[in-house]
Amino acid sequence: MKSFLASLLAVFFLHAATANSSAAESVSPDEAIRITGEVYDIFAAKCLDCHGPELARPKGKFGWVLDLARIAAEPKYVVKGEPAESDIYIMVRDNEMPGDDAKVPALTDKEKETVRKWVAIGAPGILPPGKDPSGPKGTAAPAPAPVPDANPMPFWKQLVRWLGHFHAVTTHFPVALLMVALLAEGLALLTRRESWIGTIRFLVFVAALGAVSAAVLGWFNAAFSAYGAGSSAGILLWHRWLGTATAFWACICAGLLLIHECPEGSQERSRFRAALFVGAILVGISGFLGSSLVYGLDHLNW
């Protein structure tokens, strides 16, 4: 009997606490529409650069930032009534979105509170008249002008960010040259010709230099990228460290050729051949993860 009464009281107080919490975050229908409209305006002003519906390749394949009803229906972005567990709020609260590479400043405290409130009241998706979730090509009202950044980025930081933009260009060297070096090494194994070693040596040396450059610039680029937030964070983490490991391994391959002549049939050549094979696998995996940041993990599906 005592156990039953204790359970009944626990359920009662839990229900009362939940009811009080819900009441604290409840608003009228008109107020909910007004808050939703403000969130729409905030996202239109701060998020379209990277996630606009008109972009051919929006970041994270998330090009529907103005479709609030769709965002609210995605548990990976919104846990209704729980802002502290919702990625969409966490990212703006912690200034991870918009990223440092965006052309607009982070959300103000007032704007962050509006997003928090929207999630807390259940992330309603009904927009005020005149706002279209299809984006700026629809009938949406003009977005408010961006607020000038009161703390402009220092020159050295702008320089690092600018250099990071060359990361994608430099990745072509290790990706292409290590793969071609492996192909050349396979031909050398089949033909048993020593003349291949000169070509392979050149390819591996240039690939190692390119891999180191790509890794350094990749770290620069990641520091200002919005991929470090939300569901892309794990992919970025693996891409960053595997890319660094690839650069280190490419240097090992180059070092093996630099230290030894590696004549055909020698033990040194066998070690180099195995190291080159591992390097080609690493560069392939790193390249796949890099592409996944832009196109998603399923981008190679048939």
Same domain? 168 vs 259: yes
141 and 168 inside one domain: no
Q: Which of 118, 146, 174 is the last residue of a domain?
A: 146
Region 89-109: mean pLDDT is 76
The pLDDT, as a whole number, for residue 204 is 95
- How confident is the model at residue 301, as a pLDDT? 83
User: Is residue 93 in some structural domain?
Assistant: yes
197-213 average pLDDT score: 94
Same domain, 164 and 274: yes
Q: Are residues 194 and 98 in the same domain?
A: no
Q: What is the structure's pLDDT at 115?
A: 87
The answer on 185 and 126 residing in a single domain is: no
| Helix (H), strand (E), coil (C) string for the chain | CHHHHHHHHHHHHHHHHHHHHHHHHCCCHHHHHHHHHHHHHHHHHHCHHHHCCCCCCCHHHCCCCCCHHHHHCCCCCCCCCCHHHCHHHHHHHCCCCCCCCCCCCCCCHHHHHHHHHHHHCCCCCCCCCCCCCCCCCCCCCCCCCCCCCCCCCCHHHHHHHHHHCCHHHHCHHHHHHHHHHHHHHHHHHHHCCCCHHHHHHHHHHHHHHHHHHHHHHHHHHHCCCHHHCHHHHHHHHHHHHHHHHHHHHHHHHHHHHHHCCCCCCCHHHHHHHHHHHHHHHHHHHHHHHHHHHHHCCCCCCC
Q: Which pTM was predicted?
A: 0.58
- Judge whether 9 lies within some domain: no
Question: Two tokens at 166?
Answer: 């060359």
- Asked whether residue 174 carries a pLDDT value surpassing 90, the answer given is no
Structural domain contains residue 19: no
The residues, ordered by sequence, that sit 6+ positions from 122 with a Cβ below 8 Å of its Cβ are 32, 72, 80, 81
- Are 266 and 231 contained in the same domain? yes
At residue 298 the predicted structure's pLDDT band, cuts being 50, 70 and 90, is confident
Total domains, the chain: 2
For residue range 273-294, list pLDDT tens digits in order.
Answer: 999 999 999 999 999 998 888 7
Residues 247 and 174 in one domain: yes
How sure is the predictor about 135, in pLDDT bands with cuts at 50, 70 and 90? low
* Average pLDDT of the residues in 29-39: 84
Do residues 120 and 164 share a domain? Answer: no
In the DSSP assignment, the letter for residue 134 is: T
Is the model more confident about 96 or about 289?
A: 289
Within a domain: 302: no
Average pLDDT over residues 137-160: 59
Full domain range(s) for residue 140: 26-146
Residues 163 and 254 in one domain: yes
Listed residues 85, 120, 146: the one ending a domain = 146
Q: Which of 107, 129, 146 is the last residue of a domain?
A: 146
d(CA 33, CA 118): 10
Assess if residue 188 is contained within a domain: yes
Tokens of 122: 């259940």
What's the mean per-residue pLDDT of the chain?
78
